[in-house]
Structure 1
Amino acid sequence: MPRPRFLNNLSAFLLTFLIAGSGAGIAWFIGLPIPFLLGSMCSVMIASLSGVNIYLPVWLRNLVFIMLGVQAGSGVRPETLNQIGEWPLSFLLLFVMLVSVTGFTFMLLRYVFRWDAQTAFFSSLPGALSFVMAVASETRADLVRISMIQTVRLLLLIGLLAPVLNVLGQSAPHIDLTALSAAQPQEWLWLFVAGAIGALLGHYSRLPGGMMLGALLASALVYVTGVVSVRVPPEMADFGMVILGVLIGSRVNKQHRGIIIELLPVALMAFIIGTGSAALVCALVWLVTGLHPAQIALAFAPGALEALTVIAFSLGVDPAYVASHHVVRFMLIALVVPFLARSLRRMDAKQTAAQAEPERL
């Protein structure tokens, strides 16, 4: 790498870390919930919209994903496996949530704001943005509108859900991490080697958040099998949340200011409709399963696998339940979206032909 470019990247990274760290510190000082994530995210988002060059090395991002995955996996215990029998009904209701959120948001964008069917559909899907954008790029959908609606929904989801979960999480059944033994060098080696291998496999699986998810599953495996029993320090998650806040907050920049203002009312209404639909299904899950509301809210929130899994760990809520539901949601989207996209393309084509017919006459 040429030296000037290296120095530019280094100065941009130091400034980014200073902004994120300052925001996290202020949020912690004034007592905000989940301060290291919210403070970092908000300060970086403001700086990015103001035109500051936000830069995060890819290697650091990947390392943090592995760290957070390893730590979240340490919350999985052998008794967690005994709860899996309760989850099929929860997964079924997850499908109901996916259909309701997508359906109601689609109707809002399609019939109230008169968006074309493909753009409305891809903007309505809860999460899996990388996959959604990849499929949408092969259609005539408006990618700018899709990315803005999805990004604003993510920012609102983390910004508004975190304080609510902080209150709900206080009464949630917590995973006791204090019972883990003191660190042994060979156990640390096993843990992080397993996490690195799992992250590599997760990366090539092309799942959203694959690196973190792979590290989480590998970490959970070595804990459940009794290979390791070390206590992962919470400070590791604090640092990871700061970096995660950088990743989320930097998804918008000064080039997006105009379109954010234009689409903000639409995004707010779509967020209210989608979150309201998800909340109703969450209430139904709570009634039929008896699981704690914080656990259900984290698992059924429409998007942000990495952030919500980390929040689950920081609150002591079962991260395995949360991560598994987000993965199932992605798999459902991946299976259904290509077929629906094809039908919606035909719908738009018919509408275009119908509108062109009077002009020929």
Structure 2
Amino acid sequence: MSRQFSLKNIYALFLTFLIAGSGAAIAYLTGLPIPFLLGSMCSVTIASLSGIRIYLPVWLRNAVFIMLGLQAGSGVRPETLSQIGEWPLSFMLLFVMLVAVTGFTFMLLRYVFRWDAQTAFFSSLPGALSFVMAAASETRADLVKITIIQTVRLLLLIGLLAPVLNVLGQSAPHIDFVAGSGSQQKEWLWLFAAGGLGALIGHYSRLPGGMMLGALLASALVYVTGFVTVRVPPEMADFGMVVLGALIGSRVDARHRGAILNYLPVALMAFIVGTGTAAAICALAWLATGLHPAQIALAFAPGALEALTVIAFSLGVDPAYVASHHVVRFMMIAIFVPFLARSLRRMDEKQTAAQAEL
């Protein structure tokens, strides 16, 4: 028997589903917003921190990302394309938000909490955690601090943003996701073929959430052209949310308990500064573009491409606008981070040399 299908992994997978499903059910019954994502994430986070092994096989995560991408892409309509003319200004303000959030959070960590420049910088970047960790691992930055700051930010972002968006989203312009008619069997084949190819291209592009993004773009293409009209059943999307919540919650485990307690005050302050700055830029974007606040909040939120795109779909808000902004933000980070990290390394080296002379 392969390692992936060992009895130990099968048991851990069953336990993960039990914990995530129970949390999602409780959240649903108590009326929490985005219950399948939020309930699963909270229950799995608690279980993982308590020492329970959370396990999700790679094939399952990939399948769920593809399915969620297909679901989100079904929200794109021909009229969505007419809005693209409004997006350049939105992208410009997104860049302003990226610089402001990173800058203010960096100053907090660097000059208030006295962290070294490289650790403060990588901890300040809004989102793109996989890229940030990969880049930070090639420096002298403290990876534990970065992981805690970024993970706490992600958990708080989803946990606090979901209720706010649930209220804002009720008045947002909604996209109709009602299934269309036609030769459904043939359309299903075209949809899954396009989604699979898009996910494969997205995977090799190495973008954040590449498989989901690729499936989303491929799905959007076949829907916007009217080639496909069928819709992924909402029950499948609910299942995907449960798995996505478990994936987010599993980012921390028992090894991080001590570090979380030590760095939690710092993480909370960094979250307040970063989110407050992002909120101010969101308000400016709302005034400048006239787009709905829920749409802007989802697109400008600092991180979690997959989760925020799924939330956008569940609220009926344009997922193409949301996903495109998160991808552009990642590209901005990927382009500028190597140059800034090199400068900050020299800053740390000068500071170390100056302290050695004292």
TM-score by length of 1: 0.98
Which residues of structure 2 form unaligned runs of 5+? none
Q: Name the counterpart of 2:307.
A: 307
Do the aligned partners of residues 291 and 199 (structure 1) sit closer, same or farther apart at CA in structure 2, a change above 3 Å counting? same
Cα deviations by residue, 1:293-332 (Å, 9 ceiling, x for unpaired):
0000000000000000000000000000000000000000
Partner SS state of residue 114, structure 2 = coil
Q: In structure 2, how many angstroms separate the alpha carbons of the residues matched to 1:108 and 1:313?
A: 35
Partner SS state of residue 353, structure 1 = helix
* Residue 306 of structure 2 is aligned to residue 320 of structure 1: no
Map residues 279-358 of structure 1 onto 2, 5 A cutoff: 279-358=279-358
Q: Name the counterpart of 1:115.
A: 115
Map residues 1-361 of structure 1 onto 2, 5 A cutoff: 1=1, 6-178=6-178, 180-181=180-181, 184-358=184-358
Amino acid across the alignment from 1:307: A
Do the aligned partners of residues 332 and 184 (structure 1) sit closer, same or farther apart at CA in structure 2, a change above 3 Å counting? same
Shift of 1:93: 0.2
CA contact (8 A) 1:49 1:252 kept: yes
Partner SS state of residue 286, structure 2 = helix
Shift of 1:223: 0.6
Do the aligned partners of residues 151 and 183 (structure 1) sit closer, same or farther apart at CA in structure 2, a change above 3 Å counting? farther
Shift of 1:232: 2.1
CA contact (8 A) 1:103 1:124 kept: yes
Amino acid across the alignment from 1:177: F
Q: List 4+ stretches of structure 1 deviating above 6 A.
A: none
Shift of 1:357: 1.1
Q: In structure 2, how many angstroms separate the alpha carbons of the residues matched to 1:132 and 1:24?
A: 30
Cα deviations by residue, 1:142-186 (Å, 9 ceiling, x for unpaired):
011001100000000000000000000000000012263367101
Do the aligned partners of residues 4 and 248 (structure 1) sit closer, same or farther apart at CA in structure 2, a change above 3 Å counting? closer
Shift of 1:231: 2.2
Cα deviations by residue, 1:68-100 (Å, 9 ceiling, x for unpaired):
000000000011011000000000000000000
Shift of 1:236: 1.4
Q: Mean alpha-carbon deviation: is it higher for 21-30 or for 227-236?
A: 227-236
Q: In structure 2, how many angstroms separate the alpha carbons of the residues matched to 1:225 and 1:4?
A: 40
Q: In structure 1, how many angstroms separate the alpha carbons of the residues matched to 2:28 and 2:331?
A: 36
Q: In structure 2, how many angstroms separate the alpha carbons of the residues matched to 1:10 and 1:75?
A: 35
CA contact (8 A) 2:179 2:230 kept: no
CA contact (8 A) 1:275 1:302 kept: yes
Q: In structure 2, how many angstroms separate the alpha carbons of the residues matched to 1:65 and 1:4?
A: 19
Q: In structure 2, how many angstroms separate the alpha carbons of the residues matched to 1:181 and 1:206?
A: 36
Amino acid across the alignment from 1:202: G
Partner SS state of residue 106, structure 1 = helix
Partner SS state of residue 141, structure 2 = coil
Q: In structure 2, how many angstroms separate the alpha carbons of the residues matched to 1:326 and 1:175?
A: 20
Amino acid across the alignment from 2:353: A
Partner SS state of residue 175, structure 1 = coil
Q: In structure 1, how many angstroms separate the alpha carbons of the residues matched to 2:298 and 2:269?
A: 21
Cα deviations by residue, 1:172-219 (Å, 9 ceiling, x for unpaired):
000012263367101000001110110111011011100000000000
Amino acid across the alignment from 2:263: L
TM-score by length of 2: 0.98
Shift of 1:4: 11
CA contact (8 A) 1:181 1:231 kept: no
Amino acid across the alignment from 2:186: Q
Shift of 1:226: 1.5
Q: In structure 1, how many angstroms separate the alpha carbons of the residues matched to 2:6 and 2:182?
A: 40
- Identity score, percent: 84
Cα deviations by residue, 1:251-285 (Å, 9 ceiling, x for unpaired):
11111100000000000000000000000000000
Q: Give the length in aligned residue pairs.
A: 358
Shift of 1:341: 0.3
Amino acid across the alignment from 1:190: W
Q: In structure 2, how many angstroms separate the alpha carbons of the residues matched to 1:10 and 1:295?
A: 39
